[in-house]
Structure 1
């Protein structure tokens, strides 16, 4: 069963949520709430992981990642050479290997006489969480990882399927943090607000867009139908995904976990950088922190490029190229990634040139124009992403 896809899932949600609310009202200690988060996550895993073959894959995947994390943490704590990169790259490779196998062959992998369906819902987001732990272990920010916390973090059921992507240290801090009745009450009210917003976005607005605008265009071709499809698909994608994210955040809040938000009014962005600070924020910030910034800083440290902008531009190509391939190896996803890399590079160049040549000015009219231009560039990117052009 896919989380938040139909109303029956919300009936099952009452099983973990009702006791969580009671614990919050009673002001239960952080350890008690942490135990309930763990038990709830394991219990909901039995529901989400149906059929049993999928459940077995998820458990096997979790144990595989746990061995990698524990092994690398033990190595880092004992190793004399803390900067040895070969071991780090090896564990990163091993951690993303199952995801790479899914992306390259999403149906079946043959293992001798035995065949298994590879991949399960949420494997991409689970991989991001474990890779984030490995990177912060390398940075010396994580000194210990307990198995119960690891399970709760990686498999946290509200965010299992499609995020948002949390960070281990922040998540564990919420697990351990004591909440009195007033603090939990405020958090629960915010959580209910997110849940109602999720119903509005996903089950009303996204449904209406899909039924009365997007779906009829699936059989109409030509310039004008494709233009309409571009806007319909972009808006549907936002409201459907933002609705899901609102559900995930709202349920997390009811469980006492402040899962980070994923969307912040992305369609009022004034430029493409502003857009990526508002759209799918947990993913874009993850890529920014763990890929782009590390590449740029490492390039500056090793003096790879004479021009400091070169490292930034190659970093954008690397970041969005990987982001595109992460969605899939089909042409539309790869092109989507490079399209946004080009937008980021182009905007950065024009923004620097604008300081002397004044391509655009300031004020409400310019802001509105910037929003409209950015909106249309973004929508064309969604048209590429949709695969309709292919």
Structure 2
């Protein structure tokens, strides 16, 4: 059963949510609320992962992830782990081990077509639980996480509201919400916001996205003229936003009802004034994750080791690395790789133009220029979604 895909899922979800609401309104907090959250996750996983093989795969992945995190944390705190070279080797080994199942899943279509292997791994949400595991390993490496309890890590990695569509949370932030003692009034605010998000999700996914697909996108998928492709670019872009933003609104809303303040994923992305602004507004949890754990670390490490004479080279290669990985994360099909490279090129081009504009003044300031920037940025983004859709390939 795919989360938020039909009304049957919402009906089943009332079983864990109604008691959670009563617990919150009665002011019950602490470990009782945490245990109910864990029960809720286990109960919903039993519905989501059908047949049982999927549940076994998800359980196996979690145990694998916990062992990686547990043993890396113990090593980090040991005498050997305090030596830089030893820590670095084990750190990279832990990262590879955490990412390996996802890599096998992403490469599986190519492997099958080449007749190499067929991966037995591959369950709903493997990308998002991998990000949570990798982020935890990195924060252990940085000395930010001192303890990882089994049940807390279970609740975090397999948290059912955000399992299949995000947003991507961080362990320390999630743990802070679990341990926070909410008053009756604080939970009441969470509940009101959560219900608002859920209704917004219904509007986005089951009304707007549904109508766009039924009355425009479905027809455009059968027509392949130049004019139809141009119209498809706009239609698909808005469909993608409302469908994905609907999923995210559901995830955030249900999280709030359970007392977890899951971070936002969208912030009016189509009013972005440049491509950097867009990635600060679109799928924010993913873009911030890649920024913090890939881009910034690559740039800072390059500066520390003086890899490049020009300081902008590391930034530009960082964009290529970031968006290249992001593209492959979506899949190994050509459109996803090109989509990633396209956005890397946009980021590099904008950065270069922004620096040149300080000297040559290609554009100015004010409402006119802001409006023009929004329109131009939106069209670059829409063309990127056209690439992403695979229509051009």
TM category, shorter: over 0.9
**Structure 1 residue 209 corresponds to structure 2 residue 212:** yes
Q: Which runs of 4 or more aligned residues in structure 1 lie more than 3 Å from their structure 2 counterparts after TM superposition?
A: 106-109, 114-117
- Asked if the contact 2:237/2:386 (under 8 Å) is kept, the reply is yes
1 CA distance for matches of 2:381 and 2:126? 27
1:13 paired residue number: 13
2:234 pairs with 1:231:
yes
Say whether residues 1:363 and 2:353 are aligned partners. no
Distance 1:305 1:105 in 2: 36
**Contact persistence 2:220–2:228 (CA under 8 A):** yes
CA deviation string 1:318-353 (max 9, x = no partner): 000000000001100000000000000000000010
Q: How does 1:1-390 map to 2 (within 5 A)?
A: 1-78=1-78, 79-82=81-84, 84-106=87-109, 117-390=120-393
1:257 counterpart SS class: coil
Unaligned 5+ segments in structure 1 are: none
Alpha-carbon offset, residue 116 of structure 1: 6.8
Structure 2 alignment gaps of length 5 or more:
none
Is the 1:296–1:315 Cα contact (8 Å) retained in structure 2?
yes
CA offset digits 1:346-375 (Å, max 9, x no partner): 000000100110000000010000000000
Mapped to 2, the partners of 1:314 and 1:80 lie a distance apart of 31
Query: Which has the higher mean CA deviation after the structures are superposed, 214-223 or 238-247?
Result: 214-223
Residue 106 (structure 1) shift: 4.7
Contact 2:299–2:315 (8 Å) recurs in 1: yes
Q: Matched residues in 1 for 2:67 and 2:204: separation?
A: 39
In the superposition, the TM-score normalised over structure 1's length comes to 0.97
**Does the 8 Å contact 2:167/2:285 carry over to 1?**
yes
Cα deviation digits, residues 101-142 of structure 1 (max 9, x gap): 000115998xxxx98743011000000000000000000000
- Give the root-mean-square deviation of aligned CA atoms: 1.3
- Distance across 2 between alignment mates of 1:356 and 1:219: 48
SS at 1:256 equivalent: coil
Listed one character per residue, the Cα deviations across residues 29-48 of structure 1 (whole Å, up to 9, x for unaligned) are 22111111111101111001
Cα distance in 2 between the residues matched to 1:196 and 1:106 = 37
The answer to whether the Cα contact below 8 Å between 2:105 and 2:119 also exists between their aligned partners in 1 is no
